[in-house]
Structure 1
Amino acid sequence: MSIRPVDVLLRVGISAALVVGGYFHADLYGRGYRYIHFIGPSFLVQAAVSFALAVLVLVGPWTMRLAAAGLAGGSLVAFALSRTTGIAGFSEIGWDPAPQAALSVAAEVITVILCAASLLLYRREAVRYEARS
């Protein structure tokens, strides 16, 4: 299979969205979340994994895009839980802290959408490649 420009653009977009989401988690960790039991370390891990996956999505196999979608999807679930039932006794209300919450959610939604598009493109190309063989 050949690498298509649209695939490169999708990988770059996924990587950029991961960096943005990771940045906001690292920023919130530094602004005081580090002192929240369980939540603080989770924010730091999420940021570190986001930065690592941003690089791996650019150069790695399709499974890295699947991992990126899983990370972003998990972050969205955690966000929803933190505003409903809470996580480990921690809960927040609305879009606070602003604007980090909204921007992080936007980055994670974009990550999931771009990963889905990239994986669908990959699957389509794989089917075409197999049909030619």
Structure 2
Amino acid sequence: MTETLAQKRGGGTATALLRLAGAALLAAIAGIHLYLWQDGYDSIDVIGPAFLLQAVVGFAGALLLVVAPPRILPAAAVLGALFAAGSLAAILLSSVELFGRAPGLFDFVESPAADLWGETVVVEVAALVVLTVLAVLTLSRRRA
């Protein structure tokens, strides 16, 4: 069986689609955090700067996924998945009672009824899934 050049480089259609979807989802996470930061979260101690940092890191991660050469794509995917997981953990810790722990993060309690709460959770879960699949796929191709 002959391999295409893209397959030899760890690419292929699935990898390209996952890479672009992951980048779009990280950019969406960043965009949501930037919007909320501009919409009033900037005045919240600790949370405000964290939202701005989320925006910067999210956009940087999206760019990295788009331009990463195949040899560092697995690392970029893992970092993106960890970023999405951390963001998801933060919103859940700040707004939902988990394992008997009262909601709140850095003395801030978010409400699941807050603007973009549901959309944020959906985008972060999707990013976590897509980037985990991309990481597994690219790592398995490197070992093959």
Taking structure 2 as the reference length, the TM-score comes to: 0.83
Work out whether 1:51 is the aligned partner of 2:67.
no
Candidates 85, 88, 91, aligned match of 2:109 = 91
Deviation at 1:121, TM superposition (A): 1.0
- Equivalenced residue count is 126
Moved beyond 2 Å, runs of 4+: none
Counterpart of 1:110 in structure 2 is 126
Counterpart of 2:100 in structure 1 is none
Deviation at 1:5, TM superposition (A): 1.4
Deviation at 1:88, TM superposition (A): 1.1
Counterpart of 1:35 in structure 2 is 43
CA offset digits 1:23-63 (Å, max 9, x no partner)? 11000000000000000000000011000100101122221
Gaps of 5+ in 2: 1-7, 98-102
Taking structure 1 as the reference length, the TM-score comes to: 0.90
Task: Indicate the structure with greater helix content.
Answer: 1
Gaps of 5+ in 1: 129-133
> Aligned residues: percent identity?
30
Q: CA RMSD for the aligned pairs? A: 1.1
CA contact under 8 A between 2:75 and 2:135: conserved in structure 1? no
- Secondary structure of the 2:112 match is coil
- Secondary structure of the 2:14 match is helix
